[in-house]
């Protein structure tokens, strides 16, 4: 199945959602608060409603103008309500597309709703364009393979994401393709995608001399990911070798990557703990001397110390973390 066939399948799903909504079965698309430990209050029906919005955007079902207007207004109000009650604040593609769609029907009676949208949360106040101008594509004909993958991922259609990523990989990967695959792997949840991306990014990052800031950041991310992958796969000796080889890279920026990698290796293999912790403490002493001991690293250092059984360092990190507040 090719890219266009997969997009057609996605649009069939969007059409079914619109038909369901117009038939009066709306509950699954309206704002519904769900509390989670990780995200606080969030909207349980956000993705379902987003399918409706994309369906309207792509015109998957021809609608009488009055029905379309009513649907746009109802969905816009639900999106505003969701943003008003979202613990993590923010807004997404649904709000942006609906703000654009509403321009066609906007009257003076809508100004209160647009004011609510703008004031729904801090992110809306800072960035939402209530006068439109987002200009999302009106057809998937404009979508390339990467656009198609992001669309399927945004709609949480994992089967379609995986099929599209397979198409993306068909002709081989080079250069920035590995960076894209690293992002796509978060959507496919497939180990083989992540491993191919991590190894490809690592080879690319270190294939030539690093001369600029972008290259340094690319190398930092690549080294951290590669060490983490090796540790997860039980290749602890190889992970430790890269950890020490790339100490200079890992201690660039705020040094956090260095301690994150140390923790990853120590968690993976008990036999490494004393050796890695000794190396870490040496680095801590050096970072203090050169004035590069940053608070963002305290948590990982504390966790390393706990695994190593170094109570003195655990107490020191707890004291520093408490002092930092």
For the chain, the average pLDDT equals 96
Q: Is the pLDDT of residue 95 over 90?
A: yes
At residue 132 the predicted structure's pLDDT band, cuts being 50, 70 and 90, is confident
pLDDT digits (tens, 9 = 90+) for 39-87: 899 999 999 999 999 999 999 999 999 999 999 999 999 999 999 999 9
pTM (2 decimals)?
0.89
Place of tokens 């609608």: 63
Mean pLDDT, residues 280-306? 95
Mean pLDDT, residues 94-101? 98
Could you give the percent of the chain with pLDDT greater than 70?
A: 100
Q: Which of 209, 307, 315 is nearest to 263 (CA)?
A: 307
What is the per-residue pLDDT for 38?
Answer: 87
In this structure, how many other beta carbons lie within 10 angstroms of the beta carbon of residue 141?
Answer: 9
Q: Is the pLDDT of residue 253 over 90?
A: no
Asked whether the beta carbons of 263 and 221 are under 8 A apart, the reply is no
Specify the length of the chain in residues. 325
Mean pLDDT, residues 293-303? 95
- Quick one: three-class SS letters along the chain? CCHHHHHHHHHHHHHHHHHHHHCCCCHHHCCCEEEECCCEEEECCHHHHHHHHHHHHHCCCCCCHHHHHHHHHHHHHHHHHHHHHCCCCCCCHHHHHHHHHHCCCCCHHHHHHHHHHHCCCHHHHHHCCCCCCCCCCCCHHHCCHHHHHHHHHHCCCHHHHHHHHHHHHCCCCCCCHHHHHHHHHHHHCCHHHHHHHHHHHHHHHCCCCCCCHHHHHHHHHHHHHHHHHHHHCCCHHHHHHHHHHCHHHHCCCCCHHHHHHHHHHHHHCHHHHHHHHHHHHHHHHHHHHCCCCCHHHHHHHHHHHHHHCCHHHHHHHHHHHHHHC
Asked whether the beta carbons of 324 and 295 are under 8 A apart, the reply is yes
**CA 120 – CA 150 distance, rounded (Å):** 26
Q: Is the pLDDT of residue 302 over 80?
A: yes
**CA 182 – CA 179 distance, rounded (Å):** 5
What is the per-residue pLDDT for 82?
Answer: 97
At residue 104 the predicted structure's pLDDT band, cuts being 50, 70 and 90, is very high
What is the per-residue pLDDT for 171?
Answer: 85
Q: Is the pLDDT of residue 325 over 80?
A: no
What is the per-residue pLDDT for 1?
Answer: 86
């Amino acid at each position: 199945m090719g890219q266009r066939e997969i997009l057609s399948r996605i649009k069939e799903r969007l059409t079914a959602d619109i038909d369901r909504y117009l038939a009066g079965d709306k509950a699954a698309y309206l704002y519904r608060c769900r509390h989670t430990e990780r995200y606080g209050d969030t909207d349980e029906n956000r993705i379902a409603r987003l399918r409706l919005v994309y369906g309207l955007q792509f015109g998957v079902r021809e609608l009488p103008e009055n029905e379309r207007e009513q649907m746009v207004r109802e969905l816009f109000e639900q999106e505003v309500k969701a943003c008003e009650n979202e613990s993590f604040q923010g807004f997404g593609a649904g709000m942006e597309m609906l703000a654009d769609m509403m321009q066609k029907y906007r009257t003076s009676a809508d100004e209160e709703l647009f004011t609510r949208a703008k004031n729904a949360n801090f992110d809306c106040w800072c960035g939402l364009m209530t006068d439109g101008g987002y200009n999302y594509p009106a057809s998937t004909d404009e979508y390339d393979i990467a656009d198609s993958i992001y669309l399927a991922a945004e709609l949480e259609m994992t089967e379609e994401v995986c099929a599209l990523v397979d198409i993306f990989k068909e002709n081989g990967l080079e250069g920035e393709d590995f960076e894209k695959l690293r992002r796509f792997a978060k959507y496919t949840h497939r180990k083989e995608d992540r491993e191919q991306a991590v190894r490809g990014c690592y080879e690319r990052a270190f294939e030539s001399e690093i001369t600029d800031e972008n290259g340094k950041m690319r190398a930092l991310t690549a080294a951290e990911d590669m060490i983490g992958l090796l540790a997860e796969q039980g290749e602890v000796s190889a992970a430790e070798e890269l950890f020490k080889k790339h100490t200079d890279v890992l201690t660039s920026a705020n040094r956090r990557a260095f301690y994150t990698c140390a923790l990853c290796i120590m968690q993976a293999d008990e036999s490494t703990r004393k050796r890695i912790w000794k190396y870490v403490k040496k680095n801590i002493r050096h970072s203090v001397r050169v004035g590069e001991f940053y608070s963002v690293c305290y948590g990982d250092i504390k966790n390393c110390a706990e695994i190593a059984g170094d109570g003195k360092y655990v107490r020191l990190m707890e004291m520093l973390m408490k002092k930092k507040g």
